[in-house]
Structure 1
């Protein structure tokens, strides 16, 4: 009984890690989320056109997501030394997430093959159900005080306060608005919930 519980828990964690890391990767690379937050007020604030802002954002994402891009230089947004250090730390986290995503997806494929071969799809049901319930609860809980959790997140993953950007020395923060991060948060967990729902539907279909 105990072995079966821990085995199902391990399966659930593996599926959740694969889903979460994939959702993070897709959210980072969903450029349209950033484009959606650019308005007339923002373009006036930074004195740039929407197209020019987007070009700089593409350059930022290329640095953060491509392992062979080692130097951060945007056409129109300079960085302070602390700003560059923080962005390098963010890049490391993004690279780590990509590694976790690839590894966990490979493990999920192996798991699915094992489950299909032994016809044990039922072992995935409870874990997926629990995760589907937990995700909306987490979203609601964090949404009650998003700013507080945003700060805690940075304090947990960064051992300095370089993430607190000064708009004068690190003007990129003027376009990376609170609204943008909120939209990314909702989109990320929406993707995760969709992944869990589809996985549950597939598994349930196999059980029936």
Structure 2
């Protein structure tokens, strides 16, 4: 492989990484805002009966959390109708910071990918679409297997990786909000993200094949 081919290959791999990051963030963002997942679990798992809160109370507090962690706006955390501890409040602030950081990563990746296409679009063979497609297919298969085998362990590992404290370990007596967020909901949300990645994998591969006909 000559130096020119190596540079093109390196560029395509870099672009595939950018595209993969973009899709991961967008899939996570979509799942966060796709409330029907939670509304289904609310009914399916009888959360109202299990917790003693009305469906209206549950929805307004859940909707508040989604709005809080998903916005860039500076705002103080205050659940509409549930008690919460300082550590519980801090965890939701940490989740908000995580999503804000993901948004920054999204913007940077979009800018870099766009610049790469503008500057080098005529020199590449768009193999980055194929590379990204393979990554987005393998990732859900691997993570999905771990989730299926032991989601509780996977859930714990996720929090230990992305949060530098143990404030995600809620005490239901202090933070009853955790009672309306069953683990099944987080499992379904994780699967939704992985399905989004798999779908984008197929779309990327389809576009690659159309371009290289």
Q: Shared fold by TM > 0.5?
A: yes
- 1:7 maps to 11
- 2:107 maps to 102
- Contact 2:84/2:174 (CA < 8 Å) preserved in 1? yes
- 1:31 maps to 35
- Inter-partner Cα distance in structure 1 for 2:150 and 2:47: 25
| SS class of match (1:121) | coil
Aligned positions of 1:32-181 closer than 5 A: 32-39=36-43, 41-114=46-119, 117-118=121-122, 120-143=124-147, 144-181=149-186
CA deviation digits over 1:155-174, x for unaligned, max 9? Answer: 11122211000111001101
1:96 to partner: Cα distance: 0.7
Number of matched residues?
207
- Inter-partner Cα distance in structure 2 for 1:158 and 1:128: 27
1:194 to partner: Cα distance: 1.0
- Inter-partner Cα distance in structure 2 for 1:50 and 1:119: 56
- Contact 2:137/2:201 (CA < 8 Å) preserved in 1? no
| SS class of match (2:46) | helix
- Contact 2:20/2:135 (CA < 8 Å) preserved in 1? yes
CA deviation digits over 1:54-106, x for unaligned, max 9? Answer: 11111111211122242111122221011111111111001111221233233
Coordinate RMSD, CA, aligned: 1.9
1:129 to partner: Cα distance: 4.2
Structure 1, unaligned runs of 5 or more:
none
TM-score of the two chains, using structure 2 as the length reference: 0.88
1:183 to partner: Cα distance: 0.4
TM-score of the two chains, using structure 1 as the length reference: 0.90
